[in-house]
Chain A
Amino acid sequence: MTTFRRRLRFALVLPAFALIATACSRQPEPQDILNPQGPISRKLDSLWNPVFLIAVIIFVLVEGLILFVLIRYRAKSDDDAPVQVHGNTTLEIGWTILPALLLLIVGFFTVTTLVDLDRKPTGDVLNVKVIGHQWWWEYDYLDYKVTTANELHIPVGQPVFVKVSSVDVIHSFWAPALAGKMDAVPGRDNHLTIQADKAGQTYLGQCTEYCGLSHANMRIRVVTHTQADFARWIADQQREAAIPTSGTAGEGASLFKAKGCGGCHSVSGYTAGTVGPNLTHLYSRKTFAGALFTLDEQQLRLWLRDPPGQKPMNPNKGLGMPNLQLTEDEIGKLIAFLETLH
């Protein structure tokens, strides 16, 4: 009997320990999917929490049952003569119907939430188009004719209606604190509503549909502002770039055109490329290259020396920024120019 008890205690302690350990580790991480920071993601969360709880309860019951059976009915001798039960119709009907009913209830709330989430928000809505590129994100503020990249700025307390599409392969736009994913499918305009509660936050996300070589390097940052700050940010973004004409920065500006940078990158009022991110207000962003690197002089220098070395890309097949074989002097001038784009 003592071995039985010891076994039982061991059997019960082990999963309990695992569960507690799990629970303790659940402080929200930067890209946590169970840390809703807006009304949309909160709806998802409140739908999922009870389902998860039920799943945990069933988990404990079933695994407990298995452990109990294992311990209690372990063979005592080779000549054990257990009663030969072939089945029990009542029981079997029971454990068919009960889960089915439970699941239909869950299904009901699933469907109502689905319909609710699909509704286009009304009233004062910010319209943004998100376009996936290999391997960065373009954001077009449709109401303001502003285009930026990788860092999405939104006001708090206002629904943002996001149209999601792609120019090449399928990507998926995801900032879990604010909403679930939406795939960016070429030729389709999918839509998604996001909304944030708290201003001054930066929520992380990234592309979640495998999109080739640098799928891992297609990050997202969503920056939240108060309504007033957002209005100021938008006004800044609407400004045309002041192109320097003299000094190192001026030489950099000429190089920007001469080296063909402008063929891919737009600087409004100066160049109009659309293949790469719009750089008009590059220095209003904190990161670059798919929100992969902190935007500072040192990182930019590393990047311009050898972009595909910094972030895997396939420029010889037309995917991503090529190594332009720039000299250190040219790099310095280009950076001086880029630093004026704020």
Chain B
Amino acid sequence: MATVLEPTTTTEDIVDAEVVEESGLLRRPKATTGVWSWLTTVDHKKIGILYGITSFTFFLVGGSEALLIRLQLARPNGTVLSADAYNQVFTMHGTTMVFLVVMPLSAAFFNYLTPLMIGARDVAFPRLNAFSYWTFLFGALLINSSFLLGGAPNGGWFGYAPNTSITFSPGHNIDFWIFGLQILGIASTVSAVNFIVTILNLRAPGMTLFRMPVFVWMTLVSSFLMLFAMPVITIALFLLMFDRLFGANFFNTAAGGNPLLWQHLFWLFGHPEVYILILPAMGIVSEILPVFSRKPLFGYPVVVFSGIAIGFMGWGVWVHHMFAVGLGPVAVSAFSVTTMLIAVPTGVKIFNWIATMWRGSLRLSTPMLFAIGFVAMFTIGGLSGVTHAVSPHDRQQTDTYYIVAHFHYVLFGGSLFGIMAGIYYWWPKIFGYALSERLGKLQFWLWFIGFNVTFGPFHLLGLAGMPRRIYTYPKHMGWDFWNLVASIGAFVIAFSVLIFLYNVMHSRKVRNVVGDDPWDGRTLEWTLPTPVPAYNFAVVPTVHGVDDFWHQKYTEDEQGRLVKLPPQEAQADDVDPASIHLPSPSYYPLIASFGLPIMAYAMIYGAYLVAVFGGIVIIGALYAWALEPSAEPHDDHEGGGGGDGADPGDTGSEGAAAVEEVDA
């Protein structure tokens, strides 16, 4: 499968490479524990955990920035931050939460779960997967290093031209933003390709598209959105880079440029981005609600199709971010109507989720609490979204805290509630022990209350006319009280996050081992032993329907009521794990991605020769990567039939034939 990377290499070349006795430039690393195993891993599960830990760390960073914002705004004429510091902090809060928290947290779930849910041994391009992670990490560190190197980006996460031009934003702040986002865009694009190919090509036999878990569907839709949206912002950032570094005039009105070009490009990326942020959480919730209701997802095809519909319609609403820009009634009318209509598939999902719970048997465990919290809070965000779509009045609402309330109800009340639900739900599968339910419920209630106390008042502040992105406000505007309330709420949220961290430490110590299927799950990952072995499936499963695992455990009587089946005899696992070929770890993803920050720093500081060196590092690493043998000669398990991909074809299971076709 690695042939896709290197179009000039034929399958024969790969086979040749395997018989060659010499290893590549660097021997393929072998460590399975310790730091090197993490630095060179290509295991989707380890990469998933790396994504999770890294993005959660950035959640703490972005959260601290939020607390600074709330401290500054708690009282009128706040003096916690200077105007300049505030502008950096609010820019980095948005940038961090979008690009370094919600997207990579979703990626953590994509990584860990997608292969498990579709019955695969790894993703299609394991080394490329590692490359995505390291690239993400370096991009994230690059942007944040600006705090120590003269000032963080201060043009807002939306970076409107011409405020971000060299004239109005001299200094390197915006340059860090441009290059950081470019690097993050590479990470997202590469991982989007990886997941699309994985989902389309590596499904276990019988796992047709319409038997895939909804989470996998939402991963697929988000990946397509990323694949198409990232190039748009890349172009926008490229133009801005040329304006700033080389005196181009794409956004410079005085020279015939057009600042609105930036807005169109940014929001043409930015709105699909919103769905990139929410669809994975919708997928997570669609997995959790049925499990804890003991009922199948109500209207699986409708939930899937509405997700796809959102994916398509998400491309046709970007101008609703620009209703006050003066585009005239025709454009604004068209985009008002499309914006209203995108509420339809979203509403459908909410009704289907409620119908899933209807007449179910609801177990209110922590994952379920967060999932229900998602449905309840996302509804509020959706409804306020419809009120924005009334575009004449949106010109009152836009750029006020009413909008800030809306998107926090969508991205926090939606995405983060969903992600939190997913963390509690899959934790036992990932780490082998459950998080404490008692602490989990405490966290949920503090999180839920803190969230509403913080962002509920934002609606009222917005209606009282408080604009966004202001570092200060005077007394007597009627904003004092609710700002104070919101700031208190922010610290309640912070407290709930501390409880989560404590829960993790506490549960690690207690190690409440709950078995392979603690929640009575429905999907394939729960069939696996815990912790999941490196090869995932000893025998690749054959899938017979949606929620295949559930139907091995339960059937229905004539009235459709649930009937438990006698436990099936565990099939004798006569596969020798050593005979399963797994992709070998590699140094090259790390080395190749390390070239990117070298190039970026060099570009920011105008050391173009160093940038060339960074480019050489990347190209050299990619070249060595392409020629790397799939395994070292005389290793324990000689390279099997495939290239570098996860190759479930070795086990001689029923699935082998079907998946091997994919290889060709």
Residues of A within 8 A of B (CB): 18, 22, 25-26, 29-34, 41, 43-45, 47-48, 51-52, 55, 58-59, 62-63, 65-66, 69-70, 73-76, 79-88, 91-92, 95-96, 99-100, 103-104, 106-107, 110-111, 113-115, 117-118, 134, 164, 168-170, 172, 174, 176, 179-183, 185-188, 190-191, 204, 206-217, 312, 317, 319
Tell whether B146 is near chain A: CB-to-CB under 8 Å.
no
Docked-complex contact A70 and B83, CB < 8 angstroms: no
Docked-complex contact B468 and A190, CB < 8 angstroms: no
B393 and chain A: residue at smallest CB distance: A48
**If the complex has contacts A99-B347, A114-B392, are A183 and B299 also in contact, measured as CB distance less than 8 A?**
no
A91 CA / B564 CA spacing, docked (Å): 29
| Consensus secondary structure, chain A interface | mixed
**If the complex has contacts A69-B358, A180-B396, are A111 and B352 also in contact, measured as CB distance less than 8 A?**
no
B376 and chain A: residue at smallest CB distance: A66
Tell whether B282 is near chain A: CB-to-CB under 8 Å.
no
Q: Which residues of B contact A51 (CB under 8 A)?
A: 386-387, 390, 393
**If the complex has contacts A83-B560, A114-B336, A186-B253, are A32 and B361 also in contact, measured as CB distance less than 8 A?**
no
Q: Which residues of B contact A30 (CB under 8 A)?
A: 465, 476-478
- The 10 A-B pairs at the shortest CB distance, nearest first, are namely A180-B395, A31-B465, A29-B478, A80-B361, A190-B326, A187-B253, A216-B470, A87-B299, A312-B83, A48-B393
Tell whether B192 is near chain A: CB-to-CB under 8 Å.
no
A70 CA / B364 CA spacing, docked (Å): 9
Docked-complex contact A63 and B376, CB < 8 angstroms: yes
Q: With both chains docked as a complex, state the minimum distance between the C-beta of B159 and any C-beta of chain A, in angstroms.
A: 10
Q: With both chains docked as a complex, state the minimum distance between the C-beta of A176 and any C-beta of chain B, in angstroms.
A: 5
Docked-complex contact A82 and B340, CB < 8 angstroms: no
Docked-complex contact B463 and A88, CB < 8 angstroms: no
Docked-complex contact B379 and A62, CB < 8 angstroms: yes
A213 CA / B464 CA spacing, docked (Å): 23
Docked-complex contact B560 and A55, CB < 8 angstroms: no
Docked-complex contact A181 and B329, CB < 8 angstroms: no
A118 CA / B329 CA spacing, docked (Å): 7
**Given pairs A82-B295, A83-B561, A183-B324, 10 additional interface contacts (CB within 8 A):** A33-B400, A75-B361, A82-B561, A84-B560, A99-B347, A103-B341, A106-B390, A110-B389, A111-B329, A217-B472
A312 and chain B: residue at smallest CB distance: B83
Docked-complex contact A29 and B477, CB < 8 angstroms: yes
Q: Which residues of A contact B258 (CB under 8 A)?
A: 187
Docked-complex contact B336 and A29, CB < 8 angstroms: no
Tell whether B612 is near chain A: CB-to-CB under 8 Å.
no
**Which of B336, B383, B465 has a CB less than 8 Å from the CB of A176?**
B465
Docked-complex contact B465 and A44, CB < 8 angstroms: no
Docked-complex contact A209 and B399, CB < 8 angstroms: yes
Docked-complex contact A74 and B398, CB < 8 angstroms: no
A213 and chain B: residue at smallest CB distance: B83
Docked-complex contact B299 and A84, CB < 8 angstroms: no
Q: With both chains docked as a complex, state the minimum distance between the C-beta of B566 and any C-beta of chain A, in angstroms.
A: 15
Q: Which residues of B contact A319 (CB under 8 A)?
A: 168
A164 CA / B393 CA spacing, docked (Å): 19
A312 CA / B375 CA spacing, docked (Å): 43
Q: Which residues of B contact A65 (CB under 8 A)?
A: 354
Q: Which residues of B contact A45 (CB under 8 A)?
A: 393
A83 CA / B399 CA spacing, docked (Å): 48
**Which of B326, B347, B396 has a CB less than 8 Å from the CB of A183?**
B326
Q: With both chains docked as a complex, state the minimum distance between the C-beta of B239 and any C-beta of chain A, in angstroms.
A: 16
Tell whether B351 is near chain A: CB-to-CB under 8 Å.
yes
Q: Which residues of B contact A43 (CB under 8 A)?
A: 392
Q: Which residues of A contact B155 (CB under 8 A)?
A: 210
Q: With both chains docked as a complex, state the minimum distance between the C-beta of A256 and any C-beta of chain B, in angstroms.
A: 28
Docked-complex contact B324 and A86, CB < 8 angstroms: no
Docked-complex contact B354 and A66, CB < 8 angstroms: yes
Tell whether B224 is near chain A: CB-to-CB under 8 Å.
no
Docked-complex contact B83 and A214, CB < 8 angstroms: yes
Tell whether B362 is near chain A: CB-to-CB under 8 Å.
yes
**Which of A55, A63, A111 has a CB less than 8 Å from the CB of B386?**
A55
Q: With both chains docked as a complex, state the minimum distance between the C-beta of B232 and any C-beta of chain A, in angstroms.
A: 20
A246 CA / B601 CA spacing, docked (Å): 60
Q: Which residues of B contact A70 (CB under 8 A)?
A: 357, 362, 364, 372
Q: Which residues of A contact B23 (CB under 8 A)?
A: none
Q: With both chains docked as a complex, state the minimum distance between the C-beta of B331 and any C-beta of chain A, in angstroms.
A: 10
A51 CA / B339 CA spacing, docked (Å): 14
Docked-complex contact B360 and A182, CB < 8 angstroms: no
Docked-complex contact A181 and B395, CB < 8 angstroms: yes
A170 CA / B162 CA spacing, docked (Å): 7
Q: With both chains docked as a complex, state the minimum distance between the C-beta of A186 and any C-beta of chain B, in angstroms.
A: 4
Docked-complex contact A73 and B465, CB < 8 angstroms: no
Q: Which residues of B contact A85 (CB under 8 A)?
A: 295-296, 298, 355, 358-359, 560
**If the complex has contacts A83-B561, A113-B392, are A169 and B556 also in contact, measured as CB distance less than 8 A?**
no
